Amino acid sequence: MAQFPNQSGPIGVFDSGYGGLTILSEIRKRLPRYDYLYLGDNARTPYGTRSFDVVYEFTRQCVEKLFELGCPLVILGCNTASAKALKSIQMYDLPKWNPDRRVLGVIRPTIEQIGEYTRTKHVGLFATIGTVQSESYPIEIHKLFPEIVISSVACPLWVPLVENSEYDSDGADYFVKKYVDQLLAKDDQIDTVILGCTHYPLLLPKIRKYLPAHIRIISQGAIVASSLEDYLRRHVSMEELLTKGGSCQFFTTESEEKFKKSASVFLSEEISVRHTQLD
Ligand code: DGL
Protein backbone atom coordinates (compact mmCIF):
# COMPACT_ATOMS: atom_id res chain seq x y z
CA MET A 1 0.00 0.00 0.00
CA ALA A 2 1.20 3.53 -0.87
CA GLN A 3 2.50 5.81 1.83
CA PHE A 4 2.13 9.57 1.61
CA PRO A 5 4.50 12.03 3.27
CA ASN A 6 3.34 15.14 5.14
CA GLN A 7 3.07 17.87 2.56
CA SER A 8 1.15 21.03 1.93
CA GLY A 9 -1.59 21.04 -0.71
CA PRO A 10 -5.23 21.65 -1.57
CA ILE A 11 -8.39 20.45 0.17
CA GLY A 12 -9.74 17.40 -1.67
CA VAL A 13 -13.49 16.97 -2.17
CA PHE A 14 -14.81 13.67 -3.44
CA ASP A 15 -18.15 12.39 -4.69
CA SER A 16 -19.38 9.51 -6.80
CA GLY A 17 -20.45 12.12 -9.36
CA TYR A 18 -21.64 15.71 -9.46
CA GLY A 19 -23.43 15.83 -6.09
CA GLY A 20 -20.30 16.79 -4.15
CA LEU A 21 -20.20 19.99 -6.18
CA THR A 22 -23.10 21.25 -4.02
CA ILE A 23 -20.78 20.79 -1.03
CA LEU A 24 -17.71 22.20 -2.78
CA SER A 25 -19.57 25.39 -3.85
CA GLU A 26 -20.64 26.18 -0.30
CA ILE A 27 -17.19 25.40 1.12
CA ARG A 28 -15.54 27.68 -1.43
CA LYS A 29 -18.04 30.46 -0.68
CA ARG A 30 -17.21 30.26 3.00
CA LEU A 31 -13.48 29.50 2.72
CA PRO A 32 -12.40 31.07 -0.59
CA ARG A 33 -8.73 31.46 0.14
CA TYR A 34 -7.84 27.76 0.08
CA ASP A 35 -6.97 25.68 -2.98
CA TYR A 36 -9.36 22.85 -3.87
CA LEU A 37 -9.26 19.69 -5.87
CA TYR A 38 -12.52 17.92 -6.78
CA LEU A 39 -12.74 14.31 -7.88
CA GLY A 40 -15.97 12.87 -9.32
CA ASP A 41 -16.06 9.13 -9.92
CA ASN A 42 -18.59 9.71 -12.70
CA ALA A 43 -17.60 6.54 -14.54
CA ARG A 44 -18.88 4.40 -11.65
CA THR A 45 -21.76 6.51 -10.33
CA PRO A 46 -24.20 5.85 -8.70
CA TYR A 47 -22.76 4.38 -5.52
CA GLY A 48 -26.12 4.42 -3.74
CA THR A 49 -27.25 1.03 -5.02
CA ARG A 50 -23.90 -0.73 -4.47
CA SER A 51 -22.84 -3.07 -1.68
CA PHE A 52 -20.86 -2.02 1.37
CA ASP A 53 -17.66 -3.66 0.07
CA VAL A 54 -17.87 -2.04 -3.35
CA VAL A 55 -18.56 1.46 -1.97
CA TYR A 56 -15.66 1.05 0.43
CA GLU A 57 -13.27 -0.09 -2.30
CA PHE A 58 -14.29 2.64 -4.79
CA THR A 59 -14.10 5.35 -2.11
CA ARG A 60 -10.74 4.07 -0.88
CA GLN A 61 -9.34 4.30 -4.40
CA CYS A 62 -10.63 7.85 -4.83
CA VAL A 63 -9.23 9.03 -1.48
CA GLU A 64 -5.91 7.43 -2.36
CA LYS A 65 -5.94 9.33 -5.67
CA LEU A 66 -6.61 12.63 -3.89
CA PHE A 67 -3.74 11.93 -1.49
CA GLU A 68 -1.51 11.08 -4.45
CA LEU A 69 -2.48 14.44 -5.99
CA GLY A 70 -1.23 16.11 -2.80
CA CYS A 71 -4.30 16.79 -0.64
CA PRO A 72 -3.54 16.64 3.10
CA LEU A 73 -7.28 16.70 3.86
CA VAL A 74 -10.14 15.01 1.99
CA ILE A 75 -13.86 15.68 2.47
CA LEU A 76 -16.18 12.89 1.36
CA GLY A 77 -18.87 15.07 -0.21
CA CYS A 78 -21.04 12.00 -0.48
CA ASN A 79 -23.38 10.54 2.13
CA THR A 80 -23.20 7.03 0.72
CA ALA A 81 -19.40 7.00 1.01
CA SER A 82 -19.59 8.69 4.43
CA ALA A 83 -22.04 6.01 5.58
CA LYS A 84 -20.34 2.97 4.12
CA ALA A 85 -16.63 3.75 3.81
CA LEU A 86 -15.52 6.57 6.09
CA LYS A 87 -15.05 4.59 9.29
CA SER A 88 -13.11 1.79 7.57
CA ILE A 89 -10.86 4.26 5.78
CA GLN A 90 -10.18 6.12 9.03
CA MET A 91 -9.50 2.91 10.93
CA TYR A 92 -7.63 0.73 8.43
CA ASP A 93 -6.26 2.81 5.58
CA LEU A 94 -5.26 6.17 7.02
CA PRO A 95 -2.86 4.72 9.60
CA LYS A 96 -1.01 2.98 6.74
CA TRP A 97 -1.11 5.89 4.26
CA ASN A 98 -0.18 8.56 6.77
CA PRO A 99 -1.90 9.04 10.13
CA ASP A 100 -1.48 12.83 9.84
CA ARG A 101 -3.68 13.11 6.78
CA ARG A 102 -7.41 13.40 7.36
CA VAL A 103 -10.65 12.20 5.80
CA LEU A 104 -13.93 13.77 6.96
CA GLY A 105 -17.54 12.99 6.01
CA VAL A 106 -20.81 14.88 5.70
CA ILE A 107 -23.13 12.93 8.01
CA ARG A 108 -21.76 13.90 11.40
CA PRO A 109 -21.82 17.69 10.78
CA THR A 110 -25.42 17.43 9.52
CA ILE A 111 -26.54 15.51 12.56
CA GLU A 112 -24.88 17.87 15.00
CA GLN A 113 -27.16 20.64 13.68
CA ILE A 114 -30.43 18.76 13.50
CA GLY A 115 -31.46 19.26 17.14
CA GLU A 116 -31.54 23.00 16.53
CA TYR A 117 -34.02 22.75 13.70
CA THR A 118 -36.76 20.37 14.77
CA ARG A 119 -39.48 21.39 17.23
CA THR A 120 -41.70 18.32 16.93
CA LYS A 121 -38.63 16.03 17.21
CA HIS A 122 -39.88 14.17 14.16
CA VAL A 123 -37.38 14.28 11.30
CA GLY A 124 -37.50 12.87 7.78
CA LEU A 125 -34.58 11.68 5.68
CA PHE A 126 -34.29 11.35 1.92
CA ALA A 127 -31.15 9.44 0.93
CA THR A 128 -29.78 6.71 -1.31
CA ILE A 129 -30.61 3.05 -0.68
CA GLY A 130 -27.06 2.55 0.65
CA THR A 131 -27.28 5.39 3.16
CA VAL A 132 -30.75 4.32 4.35
CA GLN A 133 -29.75 0.65 4.69
CA SER A 134 -26.58 1.55 6.60
CA GLU A 135 -28.82 3.17 9.27
CA SER A 136 -26.02 5.70 9.81
CA TYR A 137 -28.44 8.58 10.27
CA PRO A 138 -30.68 7.00 12.94
CA ILE A 139 -27.68 5.50 14.75
CA GLU A 140 -25.75 8.77 14.85
CA ILE A 141 -28.81 10.94 15.55
CA HIS A 142 -29.79 8.78 18.52
CA LYS A 143 -26.31 9.15 20.03
CA LEU A 144 -26.80 12.92 20.23
CA PHE A 145 -30.60 13.26 20.31
CA PRO A 146 -32.22 10.06 21.63
CA GLU A 147 -35.65 11.73 21.63
CA ILE A 148 -35.74 12.34 17.87
CA VAL A 149 -37.92 10.06 15.75
CA ILE A 150 -36.45 9.63 12.27
CA SER A 151 -38.25 8.24 9.22
CA SER A 152 -36.22 7.46 6.13
CA VAL A 153 -37.12 7.02 2.47
CA ALA A 154 -34.65 5.72 -0.10
CA CYS A 155 -34.91 7.56 -3.42
CA PRO A 156 -32.96 5.43 -5.93
CA LEU A 157 -34.16 7.41 -8.95
CA TRP A 158 -33.15 10.88 -7.79
CA VAL A 159 -29.39 10.52 -8.40
CA PRO A 160 -29.86 9.30 -12.02
CA LEU A 161 -32.19 12.28 -12.64
CA VAL A 162 -29.43 14.65 -11.52
CA GLU A 163 -26.56 12.81 -13.20
CA ASN A 164 -28.50 12.88 -16.48
CA SER A 165 -29.50 16.55 -16.15
CA GLU A 166 -33.18 15.62 -15.87
CA TYR A 167 -33.69 17.20 -12.43
CA ASP A 168 -35.70 20.04 -13.95
CA SER A 169 -37.85 17.98 -16.31
CA ASP A 170 -41.58 17.26 -16.04
CA GLY A 171 -40.71 13.58 -15.68
CA ALA A 172 -38.78 14.33 -12.51
CA ASP A 173 -41.98 15.57 -10.83
CA TYR A 174 -43.42 12.07 -10.79
CA PHE A 175 -40.45 10.59 -8.91
CA VAL A 176 -40.10 13.52 -6.54
CA LYS A 177 -43.76 13.39 -5.57
CA LYS A 178 -43.62 9.60 -5.22
CA TYR A 179 -40.89 9.65 -2.54
CA VAL A 180 -42.25 12.77 -0.80
CA ASP A 181 -45.63 11.04 -0.46
CA GLN A 182 -43.93 7.94 0.95
CA LEU A 183 -42.26 10.02 3.63
CA LEU A 184 -45.42 11.91 4.56
CA ALA A 185 -47.31 8.61 4.85
CA LYS A 186 -44.71 7.35 7.33
CA ASP A 187 -44.98 10.22 9.81
CA ASP A 188 -47.29 13.23 9.70
CA GLN A 189 -45.51 15.01 12.55
CA ILE A 190 -42.28 15.61 10.63
CA ASP A 191 -41.26 19.28 10.67
CA THR A 192 -37.71 18.91 9.29
CA VAL A 193 -36.41 16.94 6.34
CA ILE A 194 -32.74 16.20 5.66
CA LEU A 195 -31.60 15.95 2.05
CA GLY A 196 -29.14 13.19 2.93
CA CYS A 197 -27.57 12.92 -0.51
CA THR A 198 -25.46 15.67 -1.98
CA HIS A 199 -27.15 15.35 -5.37
CA TYR A 200 -30.59 16.24 -4.00
CA PRO A 201 -30.22 20.04 -3.64
CA LEU A 202 -30.62 20.16 -7.42
CA LEU A 203 -34.13 18.78 -6.94
CA LEU A 204 -34.93 21.26 -4.18
CA PRO A 205 -37.51 23.35 -6.11
CA LYS A 206 -39.50 20.21 -6.87
CA ILE A 207 -39.11 18.75 -3.37
CA ARG A 208 -40.30 22.11 -1.98
CA LYS A 209 -43.30 22.01 -4.31
CA TYR A 210 -44.57 18.70 -2.89
CA LEU A 211 -43.62 19.01 0.78
CA PRO A 212 -46.05 21.00 2.97
CA ALA A 213 -44.78 24.57 3.46
CA HIS A 214 -44.25 24.26 7.23
CA ILE A 215 -41.62 21.51 6.76
CA ARG A 216 -38.08 22.80 6.79
CA ILE A 217 -35.66 21.29 4.29
CA ILE A 218 -32.04 20.91 5.29
CA SER A 219 -29.37 20.88 2.55
CA GLN A 220 -25.90 19.99 3.70
CA GLY A 221 -23.59 22.39 1.83
CA ALA A 222 -23.66 25.33 4.23
CA ILE A 223 -23.60 23.03 7.26
CA VAL A 224 -20.53 21.14 6.04
CA ALA A 225 -18.80 24.42 5.15
CA SER A 226 -19.27 25.92 8.62
CA SER A 227 -18.25 22.65 10.25
CA LEU A 228 -15.05 22.60 8.16
CA GLU A 229 -14.27 26.18 9.14
CA ASP A 230 -14.66 25.20 12.77
CA TYR A 231 -12.49 22.10 12.24
CA LEU A 232 -9.68 24.15 10.72
CA ARG A 233 -9.86 26.62 13.59
CA ARG A 234 -9.37 23.73 16.02
CA HIS A 235 -6.70 21.90 13.99
CA VAL A 236 -4.01 24.48 13.38
CA SER A 237 -1.35 22.07 12.12
CA MET A 238 -3.72 20.85 9.38
CA GLU A 239 -4.78 24.41 8.56
CA GLU A 240 -1.14 25.40 8.10
CA LEU A 241 -0.60 22.57 5.61
CA LEU A 242 -3.36 23.81 3.30
CA THR A 243 -2.24 25.96 0.40
CA LYS A 244 -4.02 29.25 -0.07
CA GLY A 245 -4.13 30.30 -3.71
CA GLY A 246 -7.94 30.34 -4.15
CA SER A 247 -7.74 27.83 -7.04
CA CYS A 248 -9.95 24.86 -7.88
CA GLN A 249 -9.08 21.93 -10.13
CA PHE A 250 -11.49 19.24 -11.27
CA PHE A 251 -10.85 15.57 -11.99
CA THR A 252 -13.28 12.99 -13.31
CA THR A 253 -13.05 9.29 -14.04
CA GLU A 254 -15.40 9.88 -17.05
CA SER A 255 -14.94 12.09 -20.07
CA GLU A 256 -13.71 15.65 -19.50
CA GLU A 257 -16.23 17.11 -21.94
CA LYS A 258 -19.17 15.39 -20.30
CA PHE A 259 -18.09 16.54 -16.86
CA LYS A 260 -17.60 20.10 -18.01
CA LYS A 261 -21.06 20.25 -19.55
CA SER A 262 -22.92 18.68 -16.63
CA ALA A 263 -20.93 20.44 -13.92
CA SER A 264 -21.84 23.83 -15.36
CA VAL A 265 -25.32 23.57 -13.79
CA PHE A 266 -23.72 23.33 -10.36
CA LEU A 267 -21.08 25.99 -10.87
CA SER A 268 -21.30 29.46 -12.34
CA GLU A 269 -17.80 29.58 -13.81
CA GLU A 270 -15.67 28.15 -16.60
CA ILE A 271 -13.74 25.18 -15.27
CA SER A 272 -10.85 23.09 -16.44
CA VAL A 273 -11.29 19.35 -16.02
CA ARG A 274 -8.84 16.49 -16.29
CA HIS A 275 -9.60 12.82 -16.74
CA THR A 276 -8.01 10.50 -14.21
CA GLN A 277 -7.67 6.74 -14.15
CA LEU A 278 -8.11 4.80 -10.93
CA ASP A 279 -6.27 1.53 -10.55
N1 DGL B 1 -24.01 12.05 -3.78
C2 DGL B 1 -24.02 10.80 -3.12
C3 DGL B 1 -24.56 10.91 -1.71
O4 DGL B 1 -24.49 11.95 -1.10
C5 DGL B 1 -24.66 9.61 -3.73
C6 DGL B 1 -24.80 9.44 -5.12
C7 DGL B 1 -24.73 8.01 -5.58
O8 DGL B 1 -25.66 7.24 -5.41
O9 DGL B 1 -23.70 7.74 -6.16
O10 DGL B 1 -25.03 9.93 -1.19
Inside any domain, residue 80: yes
Choose one of 195, 220, 245: the last residue of a domain. Answer: 220
User: Catalytic annotation on 78?
Assistant: yes
| 71, 78, 155, 248: the active-site residue | 78
Q: What would the pLDDT profile of 73-111 be if each residue is shown by its tens digit?
A: 999 999 999 999 999 999 999 999 999 999 999 999 999
Which of 2, 67, 15 has its CA nearest to residue 197?
A: 15
Domain check: are 119 and 185 in the same one?
yes
| Residue 133: CATH number of its domain | 3.40.50.1860
Residues with CB under 6 A from ligand 1: 15-17, 19, 45-48, 78-80, 128, 131, 159, 197-199
- State the distance from the centre of ligand 1 to the C-alpha of 125, rounded, in angstroms: 14
Check whether the bond before 99 is cis (ω within 30° of 0).
no
Torsion of CA 81, 84, 89, 90, to 10 degrees: 100
How much is the pLDDT for 70? Answer: 96
How much is the pLDDT for 230? Answer: 98
Inside any domain, residue 3: no
Q: What would the pLDDT profile of 224-238 be if each residue is shown by its tens digit?
A: 999 999 999 999 999
Q: What would the pLDDT profile of 182-241 be if each residue is shown by its tens digit?
A: 999 999 999 999 999 999 999 999 999 999 999 999 999 999 999 999 999 999 999 999
- State the distance from the centre of ligand 1 to the C-alpha of 7, rounded, in angstroms: 29
How much is the pLDDT for 94? Answer: 97
143 has a pLDDT exceeding 90: yes
Average pLDDT over residues 152-170: 93
Domain of 156 in residue numbering reads as 107-220
Domain check: are 140 and 206 in the same one?
yes
d(CA 201, CA 22): 7
- State the distance from the centre of ligand 1 to the C-alpha of 236, rounded, in angstroms: 30
Inside any domain, residue 96: yes
Domain check: are 203 and 268 in the same one?
no
List 242's β-bridge partners, or say none. Answer: 9
Domain check: are 72 and 46 in the same one?
yes
Structure confidence at residue 261 as a pLDDT band (50, 70, 90): confident
d(CA 200, CA 159): 7
Inside any domain, residue 88: yes
User: Catalytic annotation on 71?
Assistant: no
Choose one of 220, 247, 263: the last residue of a domain. Answer: 220
Number of structural domains in the chain: 2
d(CA 122, CA 223): 20
Domain check: are 194 and 229 in the same one?
no
Inside any domain, residue 116: yes
Domain check: are 165 and 69 in the same one?
no
Structure confidence at residue 123 as a pLDDT band (50, 70, 90): very high
